[in-house]
Chains A and B, each alone.
Chain A
Amino acid sequence: EAGVTQFPSHSVIEKGQTVTLRCDPISGHDNLYWYRRVMGKEIKFLLHFVKESKQDESGMPNNRFLAERTGGTYSTLKVQPAELEDSGVYFCASSQDLEGRANTEAFFGQGTRLTVV
């Protein structure tokens, strides 16, 4: 079974440019999460999809960040325009939804390392 995959693994862009990160969750997982780790600090929640709907986007830092999950399959996270402080590792995770109960295990992708110069 394929795990959570993210693309690209690395991205270096200039300040002001646009970058789109992609996440393919594990097939059948309705829950999809985006997290970010900046400068070796804690991994911070960005947002949560249930299928194609945004369940919680309280962690999105500002309106330069836009996440979509059309069709409830893969998700994209666009940063436009990118700023220096957006540099970090962006992780995607997915989990099953067990009859409305929380699943204890979330499966993470390897992350996209974004560097804004």
Chain B
Amino acid sequence: GQSLEQPSEVTAVEGAIVQINCTYQTSGFYGLSWYQQHDGGAPTFLSYNALDGLEETGRFSSFLSRSDSYGYLLLQELQMKDSASYFCAVRDQASAGNMLTFGGGTRLMVKP
């Protein structure tokens, strides 16, 4: 089966840096994605890592280590608007449909 573990909640202050970790156990692995969801909104795509290393997109970076079955999302210069839930998701190579298996989500609260 597939399982992903991530912290349920993280709190940080404006301007700080926060790292949200994700470990996974999957029967097949194609890549690790991160999604952001504000309350009542649609999950929106943030990043995707298929290979080991760091991918940077503005204030957000995502890291993957395939050998450790581990990745993280790094958010820098935190802003109040970054308060949201963040989901890691694995794309299972074994699935012809390329559907996503999600972690339980990490609720990030940014305080002034």
Which of B33, B95, B101, B103 meets A104, CB within 8 Å? B33
Establish whether residues B104 and A41, one from each chain, have CB atoms under 8 Å apart when the complex forms.
yes
Which of B42, B91, B96 meets A108, CB within 8 Å? B42
Which of B43-51, B64-72, B75-83 lies at the interface? B43-51
**Count of inter-chain pairs, beta carbons less than 8 A:** 67
For B44, list chain A residues within 8 Å (CB).
108
The A-contacting residues of B in range 86-112, CB under 8 angstroms, are: 87, 89, 91, 95-105
Establish whether residues A48 and B99, one from each chain, have CB atoms under 8 Å apart when the complex forms.
yes
For B87, list chain A residues within 8 Å (CB).
42-43
Establish whether residues A56 and B99, one from each chain, have CB atoms under 8 Å apart when the complex forms.
yes
Establish whether residues A55 and B96, one from each chain, have CB atoms under 8 Å apart when the complex forms.
yes
Establish whether residues A4 and B45, one from each chain, have CB atoms under 8 Å apart when the complex forms.
no
For B40, list chain A residues within 8 Å (CB).
110
The B-contacting residues of A in range 40-90, CB under 8 angstroms, are: 40-45, 48, 50, 55-56, 59
Would you give the shortest CB distance from A65 to chain B, in whole angstroms? 16
- Complex Cα distance, B44 from A4, in Å, reads 11
Q: Interface residue tally of chain A, by bracket?
A: 20 to 34
Establish whether residues B97 and A50, one from each chain, have CB atoms under 8 Å apart when the complex forms.
yes
The B-contacting residues of A in range 100-117, CB under 8 angstroms, are: 102-111
Q: Is B4 an interface residue (CB 8 A)?
A: yes
For B98, list chain A residues within 8 Å (CB).
31, 95, 102-103
Establish whether residues A48 and B97, one from each chain, have CB atoms under 8 Å apart when the complex forms.
yes
Would you give the shortest CB distance from A34 to chain B, in whole angstroms? 10
Q: Is A3 an interface residue (CB 8 A)?
A: yes
Q: Is B29 an interface residue (CB 8 A)?
A: no
- Complex Cα distance, B8 from A42, in Å, reads 10
Binding site for A on B (CB under 8 A): 4, 30-31, 33, 35, 40-45, 48, 50, 87, 89, 91, 95-105
Q: List 15 A-B contacts (CB under 8 A).
A: A35-B102, A42-B4, A43-B89, A44-B102, A45-B100, A48-B97, A55-B96, A56-B99, A95-B98, A102-B98, A104-B33, A104-B48, A105-B45, A108-B43, A108-B44
